[in-house]
Structure 1
Amino acid sequence: MPKRIFIIEDDNMTIQILKYIFSKEGYEIIISKDGLDAIERIPEEKPDLVMTDILLPMKSGLEIIKFIKDNFSKTPVIALSSLGEEEATVLDAFKLGVDDFIAKPFSPNELLLRVKRYLK
């Protein structure tokens, strides 16, 4: 059964890039464009890994990280964020238990290597 990656991202271009990278590797991709929708769907989708942007409509990436770590603590979470976002936000994400942090724009190869490390 393919590993399931839940991507929470509101930028269409980034979604297309991520879908391409991960589909090519045989991962099953689940997409949500806002934090509230993601929080509602995570329990039923049971992803193997969650990748979330920090700045999202409805609920922030930080709220998603907290929700996952409080309820599905074994699920790895990778935060994506544009360069130049507050360093404090990155620190907050780590305090909430995020497993990894990747700045946009990202290297597809580096991103894939990091994801594979969590989905072994």
Structure 2
Amino acid sequence: MQRHKIVLAEDNSTLSLLLKYRLEKEGFELLIAADGKEAVELVEHHDPDLVLTDIMMPFYSGLEVISHIRNKLKKETPVIIFSSAGQEEMVLKAFSLGASDFMTKPFSPNELVIRVKRLFS
């Protein structure tokens, strides 16, 4: 069975390592980006099956990452965004740009695993 490839864009290294560990344990292959610019490069070079991205990141925001995937690359890759509470405007913008799902930080890694698996089922 082919492993699903996921790009995780998160500038909090502790959280990204935790999520990488948790998702790899479930059999996913993870590529980690510490900022939006790296995320865009990983998406362009590796054509992942899913992108997980924080909204607030250095260089490019999660919104710019979604926009790049949808408008520049013309891809329908599912994108799950993370955002701290109280950023409703950003979340609505993310959905209008083509985000597939949204999770408020802090969230449970187990819940993320369930949402990711649901996207691939």
Global fold match (TM > 0.5): yes
In 1, the alpha carbon distance for the partners of 2:116 and 2:82 equals 12
Match of 1:88? 89
Structure 2 equivalent of residue 5 of structure 1: 6
The one of 66, 78, 81 aligned to 2:80? 78
Task: Give the alignment of 1:22-61 within 5 angstroms.
Answer: 22-61=23-62
2:83 aligns to what SS in structure 1? strand
Scaled by the length of structure 2, what TM-score is found? 0.92
Structure 1 ranges of 4+ moved more than 3 A: none
Show structure 2 runs of 5+ residues with no match.
none
Cα deviation, residue 81, structure 1: 1.1
Matched length:
119
Residue 72 of structure 1: how far off its partner (Å)? 4.3
Kindly state the Cα deviation for residue 17 of structure 1 after the two structures are TM-superposed. Answer: 1.4
1:41 is displaced (CA, Å) by 2.4
Unmatched runs of 5 consecutive residues or more in structure 1: none
Scaled by the length of structure 1, the TM-score of the pair is 0.93
- Cα shift at 1:73: 2.9
- Give the percent of matched residue pairs that are identical in Structure 1 and Structure 2: 48
